[in-house]
Chains A and B, each alone.
Chain A
Amino acid sequence: MMGPAIEVQSLSLQLNRVVLLEPISAMFKPGRLHAISGPNGAGKSSFIKCLLGLMPHTGQVLRHWSGRPGQIAYVPQQSAFEASLPVTIEEFMLTSITRWPLFFKRRDAHLQRIDELLQRVGLASKRHLRLGQLSGGERQRLLFAQALERQSLLWCIDEPMTGLDQAGQLSMTAEIAQLRDQGATVFVVHHDMEWIQQYADELWIIEGGLAQHRMVSRKQSSLIAEACA
């Protein structure tokens, strides 16, 4: 199984009369890792949100699935949770995997599934911590764990390495590489050109804050990396 190809037709974004993205048309090949890079404020996260349908935009985003349309896994950029809110990691995961109300006794099958997912991101021992007690890196891992639950072939990951220590970055990289190897279509917003060179199949640069966007092949990305260095 392979993830969908994503076709973007004249996608543009304007918020409060400020143009965030000028019309973009592109075809994102299926089963590839597409890195999205560019300076801060260029509209990378907004572009991802448009792909997900989270922002009102003009133009079209078409998902060409090879079979039945699947689910989308999304890892947002650093979600802040209120520190004093008494909701634990386990409960956050429960809201993602079941409708069975979390204020009742939890079912073993759900707990086991949560355990598996948290083990993959190294958070199994912290399942009873409140969301507000997590560090930035731990929040990132948790958001990745909830996305893993979707078993999706289309992933949108927004700056996944933010706040992660070295071990965390390695583990996250391994997970993302595994997704790509499994045939998922993966979008990763990332700034690290070395990482992009090593793992991405395509590099898309959104720069100038507004409009300039261009696709760079993997070979060309090394030139950009040199230029950035």
Chain B
Amino acid sequence: MEMLRQLTYQLYASGYLPEMFQYGFLTNALVAACIMGPILGALGPLVVVKRLAFFSEAVGHGALTGVAIGILLGEPVTQPLVALFCFCTLFALLLHWIKSRTQVPYDALVGVFLSFAIALGAALLLYVAKRVNVHILENVLFGSILTVRDMDILVLLLIALISVSLLLYSGNRALLASLSPELARTRGISVRLYDYVFVLLIALVTVASVKVVGAILVGALLLIPATAARMISRNGREFFWFSVIFSTLSCLLGILLPMAGAMPIPSGAAIVMIASAFFILALGVRRWRKVQ
């Protein structure tokens, strides 16, 4: 990473890159975006097909509590990774486990968990806010490009490798399990195992993306690019690639545009606003196609 930062600085110094590239944290954030964007975009279509949109939102909100617990347990305020990871994973697995064992409609169950996550997170964060600088908490909630460190990029890279391997090895099977669980089971596919692995993957990606996108908004980035892609895609391949492109561009532009315009907007908010712009664009394209 140090080499990359130096290279970027040299390109800035030689006049090839604008002034904002003189800051090493921007290089870190852009590298994180280049890893995070494609992964969120690649998982998004499965989130949409499996109707797990609210689930990813709930896990994102669970990150609030995870951060608060981490700080309370004495983890570094800017990097409570262990508590965040443990809480989000437990939260996601528990939600899915209860879903598979009750007759409660899934959206209602996720709603209960979502509300609980926000309530617990708010209570703990307000308590924690007495001990730490409130701006640090803002960063956790809405993301900040200033806080991305080499360690975060390493974690992201590791999770990206796991996600890509799983998608390559069993993406088709996961899709069949989502489209027709019964058919999948007659083909020897353990639908339950796939569900748990996918849920775990969402929790991991959520945790890894919290630094840049923020706990509140990370779920949206799993959902919005994929939903926009779904509207303009004619087949599954387009669905996948459009989602990856929208998500990656949202992450990159969401980091670059506020910096370029010197706007004091949290990176998470900017990223999600740009993803929403893609969604509106997709609505327009769809409408235009219908008229044609």
Contacts and interface: CB of A to CB of B under 8 A. Distances in A.
Question: A and B from one assembly?
Answer: yes
Interface of A: 16, 49, 52-54, 71-74, 76, 79, 81, 84-88, 90-92, 94-96, 98-103, 128, 130-131, 143, 146, 150
Given A52-B186, A54-B185, A95 B179 contact: yes
Given A95-B172, A95-B173, A86 B235 contact: yes
Given A74-B186, A96-B187, A85 B49 contact: yes
A84 B176 CA distance: 17
A101 B238 contact: no
B183 A146 contact: yes
A87 B175 CA distance: 10
Interface centre among B49, B103, B183 (most CB of A within 10 A): B183
B236 interface: yes
Contacts of B175: 87, 95, 102
Given A88-B236, A91-B235, A92-B179, A101 B49 contact: no
Interface in B183-207: 183, 185-187
B171 A103 contact: yes
B180 interface: yes
Main secondary structure of the interface of A (DSSP, over half): loop
B238 A86 contact: yes
Contact of A95 (B176, B233, B237, B238): B176
Given A95-B179, A99-B170, 14 more contacts: A16-B103, A49-B182, A79-B182, A79-B183, A85-B230, A86-B230, A87-B175, A91-B236, A95-B173, A101-B168, A102-B171, A102-B175, A128-B235, A150-B187
Nearest to A146: B183
B179 A99 contact: no
B234 A100 contact: no
Interface of B: 49, 103, 167-173, 175-176, 179-180, 182-183, 185-187, 230, 233-241
B233 to A, nearest CB: 4
24 contacts: A16-B103, A52-B185, A54-B185, A54-B186, A73-B186, A79-B180, A85-B49, A85-B230, A86-B234, A86-B236, A87-B235, A88-B235, A90-B235, A94-B172, A95-B173, A98-B172, A99-B169, A99-B172, A101-B168, A101-B172, A102-B172, A103-B171, A130-B235, A143-B183
B272 to A, nearest CB: 23
A71 B183 CA distance: 12
| B49, B103, B173, B236 pick with most chain A CB within 10 angstroms | B236
Contacts of A81: 179
Nearest to B238: A86
Contacts of A76: 180, 182-183
A25 B241 CA distance: 52
Q: Which of A94, A102, A131 has the most CB of B within 10 A?
A: A102
A103 B241 contact: yes
Which 9 A-B residue pairs are closest in the complex by CB-CB distance? A103-B240, A95-B176, A86-B233, A74-B186, A91-B236, A95-B172, A86-B239, A87-B236, A88-B235
Nearest to A79: B180
Contacts of B168: 101
Nearest to A158: B182
Contacts of B234: 86, 88, 128, 130
Contacts of A85: 49, 179, 230
A47 to B, nearest CB: 14
A98 B168 CA distance: 11
A105 B144 CA distance: 37
A71 B185 CA distance: 12
Nearest to A128: B235
B173 A91 contact: no
**Residue picked from B169, B186, B239, most chain A C-beta under 10 Å:** B186
B78 to A, nearest CB: 36
Contact of A102 (B169, B185, B230, B237): B237
Contacts of B183: 74, 76, 79, 96, 143, 146
A81 B49 CA distance: 11
Contacts of A96: 176, 183, 187
A131 B235 contact: no
A103 B229 CA distance: 14
Name the residue in A16, A71, A81, A101 with the highest tally of chain B Cβ atoms < 10 Å from its Cβ: A101
A126 B42 CA distance: 27
Contacts of B185: 52-54
A54 B190 CA distance: 11
B230 A84 contact: yes
A22 B88 CA distance: 44
B37 to A, nearest CB: 16
A79 B209 CA distance: 37
Contacts of A90: 235
